[in-house]
Amino acid sequence: MLFLIIFIVLILILFIPIPLKFKAHYSKDRYYIKFYNINLISNDGGILNKFLNRKEKTTKKKNKEKTKSKDIKKDTNINSKKKNFELNYKLLIKNIYFRLSRNKFKPSIKFKSDTIYSLGDASRTTIFLGVFYNINPILLYIFSTIFKVKVLDNDFKPIFKDKILFEITISSIITFNLAQIIYMGIIIYKCTFDDSIIKK
């Protein structure tokens, strides 16, 4: 009975869908990237900005303490490791793309964006409306490599004013489960250590 309960719990952990919500905005006066309602990066702060600022301060202190001789030794060690194990990165990327694009066990994505723009001239603004809408099939092609695209909705609103204006707001929900991530990780691992990709 206990084994059955543990088995059911493991199955639930592996296959329960986990939604990740992201929202981003960019304009002349403001920008931000949010994870749910958590401010990751923005013009007035954000968690990642604070973390990166702290990291820069600590790395500067560490760099001052390092000697030139240690840096030279590290460089020689890195070069020797690179000689023993090198990858054909072009072939690796092609291989990963080929296998992931044919993977039927993909996470799903819902992607929406609203763009307001003006190019300072009515004719140019109108011409670029068609150019912007041609982005949709390109995004669909890119997203389809990794995700099952459930929603792809990009709205472009031209503003006919005698000034340059660009504002964009993006919202997306990526839904996945642990089994999908593990499976995709196995695909990438197999591609990385394929004998045809490793340079000898």
Q: Residue 80's pLDDT is what?
A: 47
Mean pLDDT of the chain: 85
* Reduced DSSP (H G I as helix, E B as strand, rest coil) percent helix, strand, coil of the chain, to 5: 50, 30, 20
Tens-digit pLDDT profile for residues 42-56 = 998 888 877 777 766
- Bridging pattern class, strands 148-158 and 108-119: parallel
Residue 32, SS3 per DSSP: strand
Closest CA to 174 of 102, 107, 112, 106: 107
Q: Residue 81's pLDDT is what?
A: 46
- Does residue 31 surpass a pLDDT of 70? yes
C-beta of residue 182 within 8 angstroms of C-beta of residue 141: no
| Whole-angstrom distance, CA of residue 65 vs CA of residue 60 | 9
What token pair was written down for 154? Answer: 């990009």
Q: Where are the domains of the chain?
A: 87-106+177-200
- Does residue 141 surpass a pLDDT of 90? yes
Tens-digit pLDDT profile for residues 113-128 = 999 999 999 999 999 9
- Does residue 15 surpass a pLDDT of 80? yes
- Does residue 26 surpass a pLDDT of 60? yes
- Cβ within 8 Å of residue 145, ≥6 positions away: 97, 100, 101
Q: Residue 56's pLDDT is what?
A: 67
